[in-house]
A = this chain, B = another copy of it.
Amino acid sequence: MTPDLAELAAELPDGALLTDPDRMAGYRWDRANDPAAGVPLAVVRATSAADVQAAVRFASRHGLAVVPRGAGSGLSGGASALSGCLVVSLERMRAIDVDPATRIAVAEPGALNAEVKAAAAEHGLWYPPDPSSYEICSIGGNVATNAGGLCCVKYGVTSDYVLGMTVVLADGTLVELGGPRLKDAAGLSLTKLFVGSEGTLGIITRVVLRLVPAQRPPCTLVATFASLDDATRTVLDITRTMRPAMLELMDRTSINAVEDVTKMGLDRTAEAMLVVQSDEPATHGVAEITEVTALCQANRSTEVFSTDDADTGEAFVLARRMVIPSLERQGSLLLEDVGVPVPELGALVRGIEAIAAEHVITVAVVAHAGDGNTHPLIVFDASDPDETARAQAAYGQIMDLAIGLGGTITGEHGVGRLKKEWLPAYLGPEVMDLNRRVKAALDPQGILNPGAVL
């Protein structure tokens, strides 16, 4: 028999509990559009940690599944609703407090990444992690997936900036982990354990983030290559000797998709294009980009443009940012997120080409090349069952390929529900068991985001 929601409603502010199917529809999917997403029993639009505690305690009492969600921009189905579950949305918890003296930001999980960056910028500070979706993704989701981005090649990932958090555990207990201290070696590293846990260990209601001084205006370079191998070799030459603030790669399919839409004059014949930025101070940024230019030319680049003007540079980067929107016009997308050790980048991209050819399907590759993290984008017609099946097959084979090259099935999007089938092959039975033991210790009832990751 269904639990009495009035019991929960009584503990929440007016309007925080949604049960109307139409209104709940907006809380069933993230950007992975998981076809298996169910209809929740109810959606709790939390306004405080206390609301989250009330929801989790109710779920615990009645053995309900709880699916936490931020902005719903996830790409692995980590926020897909389950039939009869309680969805806990953090979208209304968006407070951000920046302390320039301690150089930290304390943010509620619903705050957008871009809002955290903006709040930091008001004090001349910077929150580096920059997922491509930074304008629409929530900081809570970033922490839950250990999100990455374009500047990670120099500045690291979300985990490197999380000093502490407040978390609601599976039994509704609220705990503070870490805090505004740059060093803390007291007790197990639970703060870091919760980063990337995708809502399976607890629900984050507050994060303490380390900020750094504002980034300097970058110098930017764009280079095209007739040969993909020349481009990937250039990536290695760069990472071996310098530390760019951005090192992105687009393959021919990506270049042409963007050119179709933007008509910005990209070389449609190029097999690959690199977008590189340096944020070293003034003349040193120019010098670093000059070095990159030499490396591109040594690897037979067909064209190289560079600029020390930040706005012109941003226009170059726009081509990179336009890849996904441009491809979305060509059909449905399956977004991959496989990463390999940088030296394997070329083998990965060539292998992906072979998989695309085998399944007669379009796969565009855009990559955070400097850290070996690629996003193969599988374009398909969702109304064509056969093509959809081929897309699904390619999606899986690309992960198998990455594992074979010593890579990971997900560099920055998380496992969610779409990739969990491949996790055992990646981690192996012993590490899977270790994951399950930690999960069972923290969520013995198994009510927190069941079916995600594990």
* A residues adjacent to B (C-beta < 8 A): 100-103, 124, 145-148, 152-153, 156-157, 159-160, 169, 173-177, 179-190, 192-197, 200-201, 212-213, 236, 239-243, 280-282, 284, 337, 339-343, 368, 371-373, 406-415, 419, 423, 426-428, 430-432, 434-435, 437-442, 453-454
Contacts and interface: CB of A to CB of B under 8 A. Distances in A.
A152 B193 contact: no
A345 to B, nearest CB: 11
B441 A437 contact: yes
A192 B163 CA distance: 13
Nearest to A403: B186
Contact of A343 (B101, B193, B201): B101
A183 B195 contact: no
Given A181-B408, A340-B181, A434 B190 contact: yes
Contacts of A432: 187
Given A188-B197, A281-B281, 10 more contacts: A169-B430, A181-B411, A185-B337, A185-B414, A185-B415, A186-B408, A186-B423, A187-B431, A187-B435, A189-B192
B371 A182 contact: yes
Contacts of A148: 183, 185
B184 A189 contact: no
B343 A145 contact: no
Q: Which of A183, A186, A196, A438 has the largest number of chain B CB atoms within 10 A?
A: A186
Contact of A243 (B212, B410, B440): B212
Contact of A372 (B181, B194, B411): B181
B201 A196 contact: no
A322 B71 CA distance: 52
Contacts of A193: 188-190, 192-193, 438
Q: Which of A102, A157, A236 has the largest number of chain B CB atoms within 10 A?
A: A102
Contacts of A156: 160
Contacts of A341: 102, 179-181
B182 A372 contact: yes
A185 B145 contact: yes
B189 A431 contact: no
A192 B339 contact: no
A411 B185 CA distance: 5
25 contacts: A101-B240, A103-B239, A145-B185, A148-B185, A152-B183, A159-B189, A181-B371, A181-B407, A182-B339, A183-B412, A185-B337, A185-B415, A186-B415, A186-B427, A187-B427, A187-B431, A187-B432, A188-B196, A188-B438, A189-B197, A190-B434, A281-B284, A284-B284, A438-B438, A438-B442
Contacts of A103: 239-240, 342
Contact of A190 (B413, B423, B435): B435
Nearest to A202: B434
A184 B339 contact: yes
A280 B188 CA distance: 34
Nearest to A123: B240
Contact of A242 (B174, B179, B213, B340): B213
Nearest to A419: B186
B411 A183 contact: yes
A317 to B, nearest CB: 19
Nearest to A158: B185
A85 B428 CA distance: 32
A185 B101 CA distance: 32
Contacts of A188: 193, 196-197, 200-201, 435, 438-439, 453
